[in-house]
Amino acid sequence: MKKILLFVVLFLASAALSAQTSLKQFYDNADAFFEKNVQDNQVNYAAIKASPKTLQSLTDFIATANVSNYTAAEQKAYYINVYNLLVIKTVVEHYPLKQPTDVSGFFDRIKQTVGGKKYTLNNLEQKELLNKYKDARLHFVLVCAAVSCPPIANFAYRPNTLEEQLDERTKAAMNDATFIQYDDFNGKAEISEIFKWYVDDFKPNVKSFITKYRKTPLDAATKISYYPYNWTLNDINTTTVNNGTTITPPTADDNGFQPIIVAATMPKGKYELNTFHSIYTASYQSSNAKYSGYTGLFYFSYGVNGKLDLGWDFILKSSRFGDKLNRSPFLAMDFQRGVDSTSQADGQQVFRDYGLSHLGPRVRFSPFKKLPITIEQAIYFPISGLPAGNQVDPSLYWVTQLYYDHQFTGGKFSLFGALTFWQPIRTGEQFEFQVPYLKFFFSWFTTKRFTLYATTTSLTEWGGGAKFLLTPQFEIQAMYTYYVPIPGLSTIYVGEGASNVQTFNIGLRYRI
């Protein structure tokens, strides 16, 4: 009898040891799998589909493992990994696809085997995790394969470090600027619909829960709203769909800063004020005098549906003609009309004029789903009475622009191109086609806030500049350009006899 009891004890101990060894091996294999196939919150589904052996081994273990003898911490960590692995398995079984919701019953009908039982993903999430543990942090470690899901970790969850991992991933989500879009300047926060779907899970309330884990707490008066859930697959091999254009923008950092992609249409419901101020100066051999002009462009835009922007623009101009004293080009910003009282050696006078010269509507749209191209059309009508009598520029302008933006792999560099038809139409004059100009910007995103760029226009204008985000919504930029005299081209773009042609520019952009 004693021998039988001893045998039973040894058998049970051996079985328990074997189970623990198998569980540890599962964690180790899962850890290696996530580390290999997850990068920057995205999953390499194509690589997993091409080499499915490791995932198959993990899901084979999941299908048969008996977890009844696992501790509560072991079960909690185990089922988190199981859920994330089975989501990936379901994607791979239907890959390639644009989003998990394209698969009928992805979460609520397709069943997977877990410990000999059949579960849908929703059943598994509710029964084995959310209802059992009542831990709101679980929402930020269970990843549903979509872009708007919390960031997926590139490691497995383990029972001995689970509390620290849950806190870490919750903090990562609460400080991710794409997940919690906090505009402290305007006292607004757009947050994930997860907080609306599971509002009762967040104690004592949603705002307090978010603030608990944030580096920058939400102000008590912050107004909360919910951005639409983006079900696009979190696939490392698929570029992010942005405003109807397929591009890969630089990833936002923990403080919410992300460079603005100027070629893209704006998200639905966004407003933008963009102003660009330029000083243009040139010397002309025929008169041995300098011309200096200021142009201020004021763009007001509204994002209609992510693929269409509507806008209204104003143009302010000021100019100085006939300056032979080579004075500062910035005097063009004195906004005066009439003759400059400063005398010149030959008695010639400097003439000045300024005014709100044009206003008009503008529309920008993204016609292609898979090409990063947008088209912009504007009509600018001349204004002659602000101030009274100004004749800065009486032309009507028909302006058509085609934008292209290419984001290079890694998100550190981009190439932006603009083909611009800026066609003047003058009453009483014969129509003359204006040669379009082609502008390129090559940008280096040195940080998420600071961008350096080089630019050229039609090979005649060359220069460089920098952009800086003061807040996630407010961008400033400065640029300098110099026109290189190229026979044939210079006459077209700057006029006959122009030399020492330069521009000094500053821009401000605010988006809410």
Q: What are the pLDDT tens digits along the chain (512 aa)?
A: 554 544 444 434 444 434 455 888 999 999 999 999 998 889 999 999 988 999 999 999 999 988 888 899 999 999 999 999 999 999 999 988 889 988 888 998 999 999 899 999 999 999 999 999 999 999 999 999 999 889 899 999 999 999 999 999 999 999 988 899 887 767 788 999 999 999 999 989 999 999 999 988 888 888 899 999 999 999 987 544 333 333 344 444 434 455 666 667 877 788 999 999 999 998 887 667 888 889 999 999 998 877 889 999 999 998 888 777 778 888 888 888 777 766 555 556 778 888 888 999 999 988 876 678 899 999 999 887 677 666 667 889 999 999 998 877 666 888 999 999 999 988 888 888 888 989 999 999 888 789 999 999 988 999 999 999 998 889 999 999 999 888 777 677 777 777 889 999 999 999 88
pLDDT value at residue 412 = 80
Which two structure tokens, joined as six digits, stand for 52? 């499915």
Q: Which residues contact 221 (CB under 8 A, 6 or more apart)?
A: 187
DSSP 8-state assignment for residue 305:
S
Which two structure tokens, joined as six digits, stand for 9? 């004890």
Q: Which residues contact 210 (CB under 8 A, 6 or more apart)?
A: 174, 180, 189, 191, 195, 218
- Helix (H), strand (E) at residue 401: strand 396-407
Residues 170 and 312: their CA atoms lie apart, in Å, by: 42
**CA 458 to each of CA 2, 43, 292, 345, 401: distance values in angstroms, whole numbers, following the listed order:** 96, 41, 22, 38, 15
Sheet with 188-191, edge to edge strand ranges: 180-183, 188-191, 223-226
Residues 467 and 494: their CA atoms lie apart, in Å, by: 27
Q: Which residues pair with 252 in a beta bridge?
A: none
Topology (CATH) of 271-511: Porin (2.40.160)
Which has the closest alpha carbon to 405: 231, 252, 259?
259
Which two structure tokens, joined as six digits, stand for 376? 């912009």
pLDDT value at residue 77 = 92
28-49: burial string, b at 16+ Cβ within 10 Å, e else: ebbbebbeebbeebbbebbebe
Residues in the chain: 512
pLDDT value at residue 345 = 56
Question: Dihedrals φ, ψ of 323, to 5°?
Answer: -80, 115
At residue 399, the 3 state secondary structure works out as: strand
Q: Assign residue 458 a region (left: φ > 0; alpha: ψ between -120 and 50; beta: otherwise).
A: left
pTM of model > 0.85: no
At residue 362, the 3 state secondary structure works out as: strand
Question: Dihedrals φ, ψ of 291, to 5°?
Answer: -110, 135
pLDDT value at residue 463 = 95
